[in-house]
Amino acid sequence: MNFDFLSGINALGGGVLGYLIPFLFVLTLVVFFHELGHFVVARRCGVRVLVFSIGFGPELFGFNDRHGTRWKLSAVPLGGYVKFFGDENAASVPDAAALAAMTDEERRHSFVHQSVARRAAVVVAGPVTFQGSDPELAIPVASVDHEPPLSRESSTSTAVTPR
């Protein structure tokens, strides 16, 4: 007896759930790794991460890690977000009063007080891959597999002569 998993799901849901459940599963994986890129680079740049959320709306499940980041799964599984310290509203416009009230220690971990290079690295970390362990030395590259160019010292040329 041969049982096809997707056909089984399709039979259970009358067709719609057979497409919706796998779609939401794949979307959740893509969103998780996209947001994880922002999270990892932000942490390496010294930015404090307040929330890592998969989904929007009311929280279904969550926990706090040892760094104070709230990891949560929310009710509407159509995206996600990472909220940084100092990035207080949805438009990422800093509140002047909140910025003025920050201590020097808080400014060191605030997203808006980072250098332009660090903020850019955090922003592009989701959609692109990066190389290296130091975020300021990271080279953003498209997700394309390619060979690095040869240096002049290591390249050799061979002349081919026809017979």
Read off the pLDDT of residues 32-41 as tens digits, 9 standing for 90 and up: 989 999 999 9
Q: What are phi and psi of 49, to 5 degrees?
A: -100, 120
Reported residue count of the chain is 163
More confident residue, 134 or 115: 115
Could you list the active site residues? 35
pTM assigned to the model: 0.68
Q: What single-letter DSSP state applies at residue 54?
A: E
d(CA 102, CA 88): 13
Q: How sure is the predictor about 74, in pLDDT bands with cuts at 50, 70 and 90?
A: very high
Residue 24 falls inside a structural domain: yes
Residue 17: pLDDT over 70: yes
Q: How sure is the predictor about 132, in pLDDT bands with cuts at 50, 70 and 90?
A: very low
3-state class percentages of the chain: helix first, strand second, coil last, to nearest 5:
35, 20, 45
Residue 60 falls inside a structural domain: yes
Per the CB < 8 A criterion, the answer to whether 44 and 125 are in contact is no
Beta bridge partners of 49: 84
Phi/psi-derived region of residue 103, left when phi > 0, alpha when psi is between -120 and 50, beta in every other case: beta
Residue 70 falls inside a structural domain: yes
- Domain range for 37 is 5-124
Q: 45: buried, middle or exposed (CB in 10 Å: 19+, 13-18, 0-12)? A: buried
Number of domains forming the structure of the chain? 1
d(CA 81, CA 98): 22
Residue 154 falls inside a structural domain: no
Mean pLDDT computed over 104-130: 87
Residue 62: pLDDT over 50: yes
More confident residue, 74 or 89: 74
Residue 157 falls inside a structural domain: no
Residue 144 falls inside a structural domain: no
